[in-house]
Amino acid sequence: MKSNLFLIIVLTLSFLIFITSCLVSCSPATSNENTATETTTTEDNTTETETTEIETVFNISIANGSSAAGLAKKTAELFETIKYPSGIDKYNITHITNADNYNYENTKIICKSGDTLLAQAAEDIKTILEAGIITTSNEVSEDTDIAIIIGKDYSLPTDVEITKDDKKDNPEINYEIIRTLNVRVDGAVTYYVLIDPIDLSNDSFKEDIKEIIKKIVEEKGRKIDIEIFDKRDSLENGYKDENFVEEIGDLEEWDNWFTDEIIKDLAIHSIASFIGENDCGPYFNTLFFFIYSDSVDSENIVTSKYADIIEYNPYVEKQVTNSEDEKEQEDSSSLLEQIKISGEAQDIYNDELKMVVWVKNESNKTFSGYIMIEFYDHKNKIIWQDWSSYTWDFKTVVPPGQSKYCIMWIPLEKGYPVGIKSRVKDYNFY
């Protein structure tokens, strides 16, 4: 009886060992998705195992979220030098652009999914940059595997330098018309335009703004106003400010809404305002940069140093001129330099300053034209302006060797002027 029991136990253990061996032999081998294993047999019948890396190309985008112009472009060039042993590029750059703002303290490395290959690639990118916080988001562009937003914690290798050409060749600013407003009696439409965040390290963005205005005018026509913002919420505030009485309520309600916080936001993100050929504006084809910046303390607003008002005609066609035309233009330009404009303050009435502006013609020909007078403060900031046609009878006419004056009133709430600037439109000598 005991021998039979012993036999049963032995057979049971043998069966369990057999089943366990089968399960082990049938289980899949663990593998690294980044590698491939290849087994070869040598001449002496021994086997050798060789592991090779799968050469996956990753599509990456790079956005500049810091204030250093040209940083995204230079970083892209760094990734373009990284290759597999076979010579294939490891990274394909899909986009080089600006981030939604330039205040990213930390670099972000954003994977479009939690895929193991992408996770490893993100770790490699973090090692290359020596910076970065890795996250996953399904909002990454369809043609991109990993999106990189460069923050202030990242710096280029010491042997890499950003040149002027790198800054100049930054991608063109993208733009989108978000809103339109049509409350003007002359039928002119105001277009509210959203652009990429601009680089405030220099004023090169102004040329991009001009190109955007030119494209919109070509598409929408000359009787137009254009308001340009680089932040969507700020655009909505600007739209609300313009259309407040029409849509929301009375001026008292507007005054309660138009807080210092909103004014400061608009001073930073209301980039440009363009007045085209519409009948309600004081003058045609004028471009304002950072029009809200004069409503805040300019010392605390970085955009105030780029505040400006210029005449900009986006639809002037190039004219082919012969040598006589060119000489006539040179003569007119030389004569124009002999028009001297000066001004002096006289008295104050009802919080307005009376300014007497003199135009002296030191040329030998009669001069006529529209004159823009701009008054500026001790910080060289324009505080008030007007065309001569508002105080003279349309075109100013000054015979050779003579002077003419006009009276202008400046609201002192804008500040006390210390000097004047001028520019001339539609001038003629005869």
In a 3-state reduction of DSSP, which class is residue 204?
coil
Q: How far apart are the first and last CA of the chain?
A: 138
Torsion sign across C-alpha atoms 390, 393, 394, 399: negative
**The residue to which tokens 């950072």 are assigned:** 290
Per-residue model confidence as pLDDT tens digits over 71-122: 888 898 899 999 998 889 999 998 787 776 677 889 999 999 999 999 999 9
pLDDT at residue 28, rounded to an integer: 37
| Backbone dihedral angles phi then psi of residue 367, each to the nearest 5 degrees | -110, 140
10 Å CB burial of residue 229 (0-12, 13-18, 19+) is buried
DSSP string, 188-218: PEEEEEEEPPPPTTSSTHHHHHHHHHHHHHH
C-alpha 370 chain-centroid distance:
34
Mean pLDDT across the chain, nearest whole number?
77
Select from 2.60.40, 1.10.60, 1.20.120, 2.50.20 the CATH code of 325-429: 2.60.40
Q: How far is it, in rounded angstroms, from Cα 277 to Cα 184?
A: 13
pLDDT in tens, 314-333: 875 444 445 555 555 556 66
Class of domain 58-168: alpha beta
Task: Specify whether the CB–CB gap between 426 and 370 falls below 8 A.
Answer: yes
Rounded Cα–Cα distance for residues 245 and 252 (Å): 10
> Using one digit for the tens of pLDDT, what is the confidence trace for 357-402?
888 888 888 888 777 788 877 777 777 777 665 555 556 788 888 8
CA distances from 113 to 116, 134, 136 (A): 9, 11, 6
Return the domain boundaries, the chain: 58-168, 175-311, 325-429
